[in-house]
Amino acid sequence: MKSCFVVLVVLSACSPAGFASSREQRAHGASVFAASGCAHCHTIRNVGGHKGPDLSGVGKRLNKSQMQRQIVNGSKLMPSFGDDLQGADLNALLAYLRSCQDKKK
């Protein structure tokens, strides 16, 4: 019975509905990126500002927890967004950034 449950979970994750949900989450994350002002400082695929690092390949360089820590806590040069981005918006932004895996030029 337990193995049937595992197979069901794997199949549901591979279903078109599972992919659609991920696409929707990444699309929402892209809109959060734009609405939160991230593009004022950061470039993704040659679109955006140049004050902060290019995030085109951030999904290859950092894992989810590293990205979340940077967004929530900020750094010397980047303000923290922990009070502004939480819950579904933060998770969608992280999904979007994790999908950014372009090769650095």
**Domains along the sequence of the chain with CATH:** 21-99 (1.10.760.10)
CA 68, CA 36: separation in Å to the nearest integer?
15
**Is residue 47 classed as helix, strand or coil in its secondary structure?**
strand
Q: Residue 25: is its pLDDT beyond 60? A: yes
> CA torsion 83→88→90→91, rounded to 10°?
150
Strand-pair partners of 47: 44
CA 35, CA 92: separation in Å to the nearest integer?
13
Average pLDDT value for residue range 29-35: 96
**Is residue 36 classed as helix, strand or coil in its secondary structure?**
coil
Calculate the average pLDDT of the chain.
Answer: 83
